[in-house]
Amino acid sequence: AQSVTQPDIHITVSEGASLELRCNYSYGATPYLFWYVQSPGQGLQLLLKYFSGDTLVQGIKGFEAEFKRSQSSFNLRKPSVHWSDAAEYFCAVANDYKLSFGAGTTVTVRA
């Protein structure tokens, strides 16, 4: 089964600075990959997804992600972080019609 790993448990970034969250997926055919965001005590919201085609994917809230097969990665980026981006971010991969999630990365935004 495919799986994803998020190497960073917690990241702190200054407001206005750029953000990059890492996600690595296990070996397999071209995976279906996703990024979700979760505010405290809430459900998850889909930021973006990659199925095939253009390896740079644009999402909501100004986020983008790049699929790199050579590195087995699907990293999430945002050029300029806002205080409202403080949340937990999950990378996910499709597995037999279901989603498998990484452990998550918590983002703290400092003024």
Residue 100 interacts with other proteins (CB under 8 A): yes or no: yes
| Position among 17, 56, 60, 103 found at the interface with other proteins (CB under 8 A) | 103
Cα diameter, the chain: 42
Q: Which residue type, as a one-letter code, is found at position 96?
A: D
Q: How far is the CB of 102 from other proteins (least distance, A)?
A: 5
b/e code 31-46 from CB counts within 10 Å (16+ = b): bbbbbbbeeeeeebee
| Position among 22, 32, 62, 64 found at the interface with other proteins (CB under 8 A) | 32
Q: CB under 8 A: which stretch of 11-19, 54-62, 64-72, 93-101 binds other proteins?
A: 93-101
Q: CB under 8 A: which stretch of 52-60, 70-78, 79-87, 94-102 binds other proteins?
A: 94-102
Backbone angles phi, psi at 60, to 5 degrees: -85, 165
Closer to other proteins by Cβ: residue 49 or 77? 49
Q: How far is CA 55 from the centre of its chain?
A: 14
Q: How far apart are CA 46 and CA 60, in angstroms?
A: 8
List contacts with other proteins (CB under 8 A): 6, 9, 32, 34, 41-46, 49, 90, 94, 97-104
